[in-house]
Structure 1
């Protein structure tokens, strides 16, 4: 929950300074990555569910819903890549801290991410 609050604090600070969406934004350090981390997902959600929820911020190119190797059950977090990096800013600013099925989502930029070998197509 601390990360959710920290992202909200950074966004509020930018709004007060008038730097939101400008080059001085904290989002700028992630300008070379279109990946985001989505945590605290309800375990009953499928890849399709995550796509539906997160696609409102842009076209999704890749999605890796992390699952337990033995049971196949979702571990409650995913990494997804947007077609356009600007979509990551929208996703982080709008989805971080929202409640989905009684769970508070954590959505944050992911600077570097590579799909695991077994999921690469």
Structure 2
């Protein structure tokens, strides 16, 4: 399972996100999609953690929390839809 993290500041890095989510368990990977034209992150990302219980705890704690001046939207990531 992965976690969707939305409403991120454009200045956030994968290291920043890892630091926050490590409080809830081991982070395997952080993916921040970037805009093709500008190279800037798109304001959302995905976090993969080693333990599903830790993911649930992180979602509960961080959904709606203020971070970097923004209220985070944190929930289970949905599978990507085919176009």
**Which TM-score applies when normalising by structure 1?**
0.62
Alpha-carbon distance in structure 2 between the residues aligned to 1:57 and 1:112: 23
Pick from 16, 24, 38: which aligns with 1:49? 16
**Post-superposition, which runs of at least 4 consecutive aligned residues in structure 1 deviate over 2 A?**
none
Alpha-carbon distance in structure 1 between the residues aligned to 2:18 and 2:38: 22
Q: Is 1:85 matched with 2:83?
A: no
Gaps of 5+ in 2: none
Gaps of 5+ in 1: 1-32, 114-121
Alpha-carbon distance in structure 1 between the residues aligned to 2:75 and 2:21: 13
Larger-gyration structure (1/2): 1
Alpha-carbon distance in structure 2 between the residues aligned to 1:86 and 1:39: 21
What is the total number of aligned residue pairs between the two structures? 80
Q: In proportion to residue count, which structure has more helix?
A: 1
**Which TM-score applies when normalising by structure 2?**
0.87
1:30-109 aligned at under 5 Å gives the runs 33=1, 35-109=2-76
Q: Which structure has more RCO (C-alpha within 8 Å, separation ≥ 6)?
A: 2
Alpha-carbon distance in structure 2 between the residues aligned to 1:55 and 1:67: 23
